[in-house]
């Protein structure tokens, strides 16, 4: 009996020593990857749905566009190479980027509603994953789309638009502005260059005047019947008349021709709202600064376009967030209802952007406010939906 007790005590002591040894053994840190299996699944599904949707709508757009322009494409002077590489190669990124916010929203709602209907969202939350953690792959996907959109919108699409517009002007319908009237520019401080009219084909301005001021007084006035712009960046005044004003007398000088450098590109006379699509963001910023320095105040369209290119980067994050929160709950007929709401909000975003841009053009809003206000409104909507999301 005593031997049995001794053996039992030895077993208890061995277990206690083993337990103590296990407790003293340092625990291995569990490695948790930043992007797990569930993250990769959501990212793959999100981006796959997004790019498939864009591909589908662009394919349909190309079919309709070919049907509309088939007569122009069949002209003998139009080559297949130009149609494919000058027109449609630049057509695709332009319209894909234009429809991007709409299809970001629809893609998120479509596949998240499907996850919710299959109870996959509930399973993820029940396993201990927070809803905030669930949003990580969504926002990573939005970051990929935003980066791609930023590069396209600011640096790739503008030169492509120029090639596409040149093709349209040459073979479909010439929409280039060929004439300008009543132009007045401050070419340098206290020097105003004005023309009555300008013709692009001949690079000739008519009824030209160059006025120089000293403080508030006119010190020199140079007029000419016409002025021709040459390839070296010089203006040649034809049949000119120069009047210099001093304190006591006026000095008159006339001649047949006079060459001068004004630092004015005649294309500045002809630039239109459509031309802003052909400028990269640094070029738009440079153009706005140059025009303001010359005293030209009508640059709202360029300012709006400049700010919209940066505001649109964040729209992907906002619309992704709203779409994920909106469609994460499992409801009866959830996918149909969610897609309907998503379409309504998407078109609301586009409509609101159009309205604010119109206000800015008419001088009722600053350009940066017009570009960022839709994002601000939809951030408020996102926060309201977040409060009702499953946590």
C-alpha distance from residue 91 to each of 77, 104, 241, 291 (Å): 20, 20, 50, 30
Start-to-end Cα distance in the chain: 61
390: CB partners within 8 A, 6+ apart = 121, 125, 131, 328, 329
What is the predicted pLDDT for the residue at 17?
52
29: its two tokens: 């840190």
What SS3 state is found at 137?
A: helix
Tens digit of pLDDT at every position of the chain (391 positions): 555 555 555 555 544 554 554 455 455 554 566 677 888 989 999 999 999 999 999 999 999 999 999 999 998 999 999 999 999 999 999 999 988 888 888 889 888 888 888 888 888 888 888 888 888 999 999 999 999 999 999 999 999 999 999 898 888 886 677 788 888 877 777 888 889 999 888 889 999 999 988 877 888 999 999 999 987 778 999 999 999 988 778 888 899 999 888 877 887 777 777 788 899 999 999 888 887 776 665 688 889 999 999 998 888 899 899 888 888 877 666 677 777 877 788 788 888 888 888 888 787 888 899 999 999 999 998 888 888 766 6
- Would you put residue 184 in left (φ > 0), alpha (ψ -120 to 50) or beta? beta
110: its two tokens: 């479509």
What SS3 state is found at 34?
A: coil
DSSP-assigned letter for residue 202: T
Using the CB atoms, write b or e for 246-279: b if 16+ within 10 Å. Answer: eeeeeeeeeeeebeeebebebeebbbeeebbebb
Q: What is the dihedral of CA 36, 39, 41, 45, to 10 degrees?
A: -160
What is the predicted pLDDT for the residue at 22?
46
Number of H helices, E strands in the chain: 13, 6
What is the predicted pLDDT for the residue at 232?
77
């Amino acid at each position: 009996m005593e031997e049995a007790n001794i053996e039992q005590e030895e077993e208890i002591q061995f277990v206690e020593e083993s337990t103590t040894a296990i407790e003293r053994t340092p625990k291995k840190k569990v490695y948790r990857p930043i992007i797990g299996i569930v993250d990769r699944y959501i990212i793959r599904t999100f981006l796959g749905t997004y790019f498939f949707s864009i591909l589908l709508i662009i394919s349909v757009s190309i079919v309709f566009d070919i049907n509309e322009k088939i007569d122009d494409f069949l002209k003998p002077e139009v080559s297949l190479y130009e149609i494919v590489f000058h027109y449609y190669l630049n057509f695709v990124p332009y319209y894909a980027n234009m429809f991007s916010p709409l299809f970001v929203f629809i893609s998120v709602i479509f596949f998240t509603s499907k996850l919710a209907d299959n109870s996959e969202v509930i399973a993820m939350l029940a396993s201990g994953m927070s809803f905030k953690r669930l949003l990580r792959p969504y926002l990573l996907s939005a970051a990929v789309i935003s980066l791609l959109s930023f590069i396209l919108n600011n640096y790739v699409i503008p030169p492509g638009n120029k090639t596409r517009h040149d093709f349209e002007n040459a073979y479909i319908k010439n929409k280039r502005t060929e004439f300008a009237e009543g132009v007045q520019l401050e070419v340098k401080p206290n020097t105003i260059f004005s023309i009555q009219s300008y013709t692009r084909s001949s690079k000739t301005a008519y009824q030209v005047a160059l006025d120089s001021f000293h403080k508030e007084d006119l010190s020199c006035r140079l007029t000419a019947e016409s002025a021709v712009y040459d390839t070296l960046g010089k203006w040649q005044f034809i049949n000119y008349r120069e009047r210099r004003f001093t304190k006591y007398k006026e000095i008159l000088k006339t001649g047949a021709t006079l060459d001068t450098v004004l630092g004015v590109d005649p294309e500045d006379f002809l630039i239109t709202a459509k031309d802003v699509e052909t400028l990269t963001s640094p070029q738009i910023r440079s153009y706005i600064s140059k025009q303001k320095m010359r005293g030209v105040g009508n640059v709202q369209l360029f300012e709006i376009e400049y700010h919209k290119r940066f505001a649109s980067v964040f729209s992907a994050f906002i619309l992704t967030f709203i779409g994920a929160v909106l469609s994460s709950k499992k409801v009866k007929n959830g996918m149909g209802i969610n897609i309907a709401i998503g379409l309504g909000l998407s078109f609301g975003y586009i409509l609101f952007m159009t309205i604010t841009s119109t206000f800015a053009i008419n001088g009722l809003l600053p350009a940066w406010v017009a570009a960022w206000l839709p994002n601000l409104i939809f951030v408020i909507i996102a926060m309201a939906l977040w409060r009702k999301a499953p946590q």
